[in-house]
Amino acid sequence: MRKQLNKEVAVFKSRMNRKRALIADTFCLTKRRRCAADSVTGESQADIRSSLQYLVTLFSRKLFNDSLPPVVLKHQLYSLHNDKTSVDKQVVRSDCNKCSTWDSVQSHFIIITLMHSEALVFSFPRQNELRETGELLMFQLGFDSEAFALVFAEDYRAKVLQGEAGRGTLGTVEKFLTKLIPSCSDLSFNKEKMLKEFLFTDSEITQLVKSGVLTVRDAGSWWLSIPNSGKFIKYFIKGRKAVLGMVKKSKYGEILQTELEGRRTTSQVKFQMKYHIHDIIGAELVECIQTTSGTLLRYVDGNVN
């Protein structure tokens, strides 16, 4: 009654494989408990870092005359890792230390029994979130409320100071960076915070805005930003549109990922093809289908480009 095309059968079979694994897991629960302590989290944190480093290599530095630090978007990580929630946990700072999911096998549980037979359950995340330790900075780029940019802190610091060299605002910017990098992981700052916590004066704030480290968000609040990133955003959006157009114009609106990587890029696409491909997969602008000939990217209708 409801027939399926060959590709759909391939999709079905791959789904069945995943379901098989899940079903097998359900019945092998006892075995899992007896397994030695999972080294999965240690691995996954190293994985995130290595994926970030891999994505950094895809970023074209020469395009911006080496004035921008390599920028990676958070959703590009989703295309490399299956579990979006764990990627988020490691990259986004969680405000509380309490474990709010019920089945995180990867956290320690420490139970402290108090008087009156009450018990407090603490769970400490095993991995140090990359942003907590100050290694990674996150920025709100502005063209999409869900698109966040990630930059390694040392790269950011180096490039900003390089750009500021010889200007009068250098001292203020350095002061801001030393305050920002180790401890703070906010995306935006309001006036109170700047004046009271960071002890900046109004004129210093103006200098920071002029140098590009802060951009105006609202009356009395500023986003943290990357200096000279306007060009980056422009090229990025154009490139994304062009790559999506390539997928859309293909026959049936779908194309194998390997074929797309091999295509010649138009002049609109300034970044490497792989950079854009990770972006459109991670942002779910195309549907990723596993087939016997590789990954197929199918254009998803209803995209607002």
Partner 1 sequence: MLSFLYARQSGLDDPVRLRRAESTRRVLSLELNHNRDVDRIHGNGINTLDIEVIDGRYMLSGGSDGVIVIYDLENNSKKPQYTCKAICTVGRSVCRHVHKFSVETVQWYPHDTGMFVSSSFDKTMKVWDTETLKPAEEFQFDGNVYCHHMSPVARKHSLVAVGTKDPKVQLCDLKSGSRIHILQGHRGEILSVRWSPRYDHILATASTDSRVHIWDVRRASGSLFTLDQHNGDKSKTSSEAVNTAHNGRVNGLCFTADGLHLLTTGTDDRMRLWNSATGENTLVNYGKVVNESRKGLKFTVSRGCSPEFVFVPCGSSVAVYGLHSGELITMLRGHYNNVDCCEFHPDYQELYSGGKDCNILAWVPVLRQPDIEDEETNSKRGGTHAAINPAFEDAWSSDED
Residues engaged in binding partner 1 (CB under 8 A) = 1-2, 13, 15-16, 18-20, 22-24, 26-31, 78, 82-85, 87-89, 92, 94-96, 100-103, 140, 145-146, 186-190, 217-218, 221, 284, 302
Rounded CA Rg of the chain = 23
Q: Do 41 and 81 meet the contact criterion of CB atoms below 8 Å apart? A: no
CB of 96 to partner 1, least distance (A): 7
Q: Which two tokens stand for residue 65?
A: 């005359």
Indicate the DSSP class of residue 70.
-
Q: Which is nearer to partner 1, 23 or 37 (CB)?
A: 23
Q: Which is nearer to partner 1, 30 or 183 (CB)?
A: 30
Nearest Cα neighbor of 139 from 197, 92, 187, 185 is: 187
CB of 70 to partner 1, least distance (A): 23
CB of 212 to partner 1, least distance (A): 19
Q: Which is nearer to partner 1, 30 or 113 (CB)?
A: 30
CA distance 100 to 193: 29
Q: Which is nearer to partner 1, 74 or 276 (CB)?
A: 74
CB of 26 to partner 1, least distance (A): 5
Q: Which is nearer to partner 1, 34 or 116 (CB)?
A: 34
Measured in degrees and rounded to the nearest 5, phi and psi for residue 33 equal -60, -35
